[in-house]
Amino acid sequence: MDTVSKIREKLQESGLDALLVTGAASRRYATGFASSAGAFFVTRRSAVFLTDSRYIEAAQKAIPLAEVRCVTAAETYAWHIKQIMEAESIAAVGFEEEAMTYADYQSWKEKIGDVLRPAQKILTELRVSKSREELDALKAAQAIAEEAFNAVLPLISTEMTERELAAELIYRLLRCGADDISFEPIVVSGVRSSMPHGVPGDDKIQKGFLTIDFGAKKNGWCSDTTRTLCVGEPTAEMRKVYETVLAAQEAGIAAARAGISGRDVDAAARRVIEEAGYGAYFGHGFGHGLGLDVHEAPTLSPSNAEPLPAGAVVSAEPGIYIPGRFGVRIEDVLYLTEDGCENITTLPKHLIIV
């Protein structure tokens, strides 16, 4: 079923007359077309994609399931939508409350009337379960990321800075075929590896743990992977922490399947870390959804009691972070099924010593 038909089914269920899609990732999901500007308006009878002159020709060729119109200074986004609303007697329009700023909401309300109703749930539910075609796209992004990671491994040394390694990784991601990076790489070493989202610094890479969190974006789809290496020989405690994180990840992966709650998957991994005596040093959730955004629904955390849907693609990334000493995180990406999950990450997970 095409996305327009799926949206119309959700409109029926929600009692809405139309859905206004303004978020860049959701526009791409709904139309297959990427642009920095645009709006997609789906009603029970029509579907119209609006954009400006920069994208109009490409959009007309790329979007077969909707009418494509060009906005101008006189015939604005709101003007076009107001025309459709009047022609179809539309009184309730769903919008993405998580993607639209309050200022934009006020502007839309002023121009088309007090008709906007929160409807983020429609797009969240549609986007959360990936088709096999979408899974293949995510695998393509993952393969690029892994090729780039393997290419930078021989370059790592204490003679380069964290920032230089991050730059090399970005270069390899693009050279290996990425359209963009999913996010700015996290490259932190030594005592700085205790910072889960540390920013690469200008100091030379330190001996000890080196955490590298990175992702490629291909055709809009994101990958997300973390590997923790060791620069020089690890101590016995460092090995224990690494093996604890790996065991926790494997426990979470074994528990992960459609129908179980995100909280229960998180608990399976968290239990391993707590029993090893490091529970105070695992401060984030086990994982998050992945797709056209690098962070999207669902979450695998203590706060999510909802059952995970079949087809969700999620990260598996437990960690232990001891402030001022070191940290470890290992992250794979899983595709959830009724029977378990498929791990689409193929990089080895033994402790690599460089």
- Going from N- to C-terminal start, the domains of the chain cover 3-127, 132-343
Residue 1 has pLDDT above 70, yes or no: no
Other CB atoms within 10 Å distance of the CB of residue 196 = 18
The 3-state DSSP class for residue 18 equals strand
141-178 residue pLDDT tens: 999 999 999 999 999 999 999 999 999 999 999 999 99
State the pairing for strand pair 18-21/39-43: antiparallel
Q: What's the CA gap between 292 and 289, in Å, rounded? A: 10
Give per-residue pLDDT as tens, 52-71. 999 999 999 999 999 999 99
Cα–Cα distances in Å, from 89 out to 18, 109, 143, 299? 11, 17, 48, 38
Q: How far is CA 120 from CA 26, 55, 117, 261, 292, in A?
A: 10, 26, 9, 21, 15
Split at pLDDT 50, 70, 90, the class of 192 is very high
Provide mean pLDDT across the span 273-295: 98
239-256: average pLDDT = 98
Class of domain 132-343: alpha beta
Strand partners for 296: 289
In this structure, what is the dihedral angle of CA atoms 143, 147, 149, 151, given to the nearest 10 degrees?
Answer: 180
Range 56-72 burial, b when 16+ CB lie within 10 A, else e: beebbeebeebebbbbe
pLDDT at 300 over 70: yes
Q: Which two tokens stand for residue 147?
A: 């090729």
pLDDT tens track for 20-56: 999 999 999 999 999 999 999 999 999 999 999 999 9
Question: What average pLDDT does the structure give for the chain?
Answer: 97
The predicted model scores a pTM of: 0.94
CA 138 from centroid of its chain's CA atoms: 10
Residue-level pLDDT at 264? 98
The CATH H-level superfamily of 3-127 is: Creatinase/prolidase N-terminal domain (3.40.350.10)
CA distances (Å), origin 211, targets 108, 171, 227, 320, 351: 44, 18, 6, 12, 11
pLDDT of residue 101: 96
Question: Could you check whether 3-127 and 132-343 share the same CATH topology?
Answer: no
Q: Which helix (H) or strand (E) holds 214?
A: strand 208-214
Distance of CA 218 to the CA centre of its chain: 13
